[in-house]
Amino acid sequence: MRKSWLFSIILLVGVILVACNGEADEGTSADNISADSNKPYVAIVSKGFQHQFWQAVKKGAEQAAEEFDVQITFEGPESESQVDKQIEMLQAVLDKKPDALGFAALDSQAAVPLLEKAKSSNIPVIAFDSGVESDIPLGTASTDNKAAAALAADKMAELIGEEGKIALVVHDQTSVTGVQRRDGFVNQIEENYPNIEIVDIQYGGGDHLKSTDLAKAIMQANSDLKGIFGTNEGSAIGVVNAIQEMNKVNSLVVVGFDSGKQLIDAIKNGVAAGAVTQNPVGIGYETVKAAVAAMNGESVEKNIDTGFYWYDKDNIDSEEIQSAIYE
């Protein structure tokens, strides 16, 4: 009899522990909106979350949310190569039936079916950073990436004396930003600098470790290379790391895009020549502002240009640049 009671107690404790573990596993990132149902809800799905760039976009979105009295969620995949993860996040927020959606596509085509679902549910969509191959977004808050990359090309040409071999490490060839920055840079070089040869274009997924390996391989294959353009924060940091590991500082020009502490330090220390910066806080702010206008039935500008700047060690401390870069 005593053995029977002891077995029952052990079984009961086991059932309680299993139940507790089940509760601990509950909860998803799409559930983090507050219970304040009086405020309209704007769901924001970005291309990533790990880079300081996206944290700055989030900061701008939060500023607009406070100003326009709406609640937002802001999320993105751990890596900018996780297209499937971003699609899952997009599905999850649409299931929450937001009043408006802000979306930066990792893949300009893969998200179109879900955006059509948003349209059929009367959820206005504002694209940001990257557009999509669809007319569903009412507006896109972004940098003119082709023009910004053309400016980077002009700076690269000037820094290498308008002749020699250069290469690109691009973050991807599926997002609009990846394609436009690549094409904006390449077209500007090919149309205006006949003595400059682009010897290689590689794609690092915005990952600084992969971009480092790609940049090192490019340098090993081209000993007379004069410069490399990294098309986003992760790409540029990868190139910076590569020239340091290959002892190419002061013999090879690095031009970047975006900012972040490591790239800013590299520019201040002379490891990188400079970079084009967007206005990430402005991108986040304008996205939520346009989403609120759209949910209120107001017209939204189709292309919301949030601007860009060239910065280097000579102007990095200016008020204009300090308001656009981030660590």
What is the secondary structure of 121-158 as a DSSP string?
TT--EEEESB--SSS-SSEEEE--HHHHHHHHHHHHHH
Partner residues linked to 73 by β-bridges? 43
Mean pLDDT (whole number) for 4-10:
45
Contact 157, 171 (CB under 8 A): no
The lowest-confidence range among 20-24, 90-94, 271-275, 323-327 is 20-24
- Reported confidence tier of residue 324, pLDDT bands at 50, 70, 90: confident
d(CA 252, CA 257): 17
Instruction: Report which of 320, 296, 279 is spatially closest to residue 128, judged by C-alpha positions.
Output: 279
Tell the residue number behind the tokens 């340098």, with chain if given: 219
The lowest-confidence range among 35-44, 156-165, 223-232 is 35-44
* C-alpha dist (Å) from residue 18 to 13, 22, 133, 327: 9, 6, 47, 43
For residue 117, the 8-state DSSP code is H
* C-alpha dist (Å) from residue 76 to 90, 150, 288, 317: 9, 28, 16, 31
Residue 35 has pLDDT above 70, yes or no: no
Higher-pLDDT residue of 63 and 25 is: 63
Residue 50 has pLDDT above 80, yes or no: no
Contacts of 119 (CB under 8 A, 6+ apart): 125, 136
Instruction: Note the pLDDT of residue 14.
Output: 39
Residue 110 has pLDDT above 80, yes or no: yes
pLDDT tens sequence across 273-313: 999 998 888 999 999 999 999 999 999 999 999 989 999 99
User: How many C-beta neighbours within 10 Å does residue 94 have?
Assistant: 19
Instruction: Note the pLDDT of residue 36.
Output: 54
User: How many C-beta neighbours within 10 Å does residue 192 have?
Assistant: 13
**pTM, rounded to two decimals:** 0.70
Contact 243, 249 (CB under 8 A): yes
Residue 169 has pLDDT above 50, yes or no: yes
CA angle, 138 then 130 then 44, to 5°: 70
- Joined together, the tokens standing for residue 104 give 């930066």
pLDDT tens sequence across 194-208: 999 999 999 999 999
Contact 227, 166 (CB under 8 A): yes
Residue 215 has pLDDT above 80, yes or no: yes
Instruction: Note the pLDDT of residue 134.
Output: 82
- Reported confidence tier of residue 157, pLDDT bands at 50, 70, 90: very high
- Reported confidence tier of residue 16, pLDDT bands at 50, 70, 90: very low
Instruction: Note the pLDDT of residue 280.
Output: 87
CA 320 to chain CA mean position, Å: 22
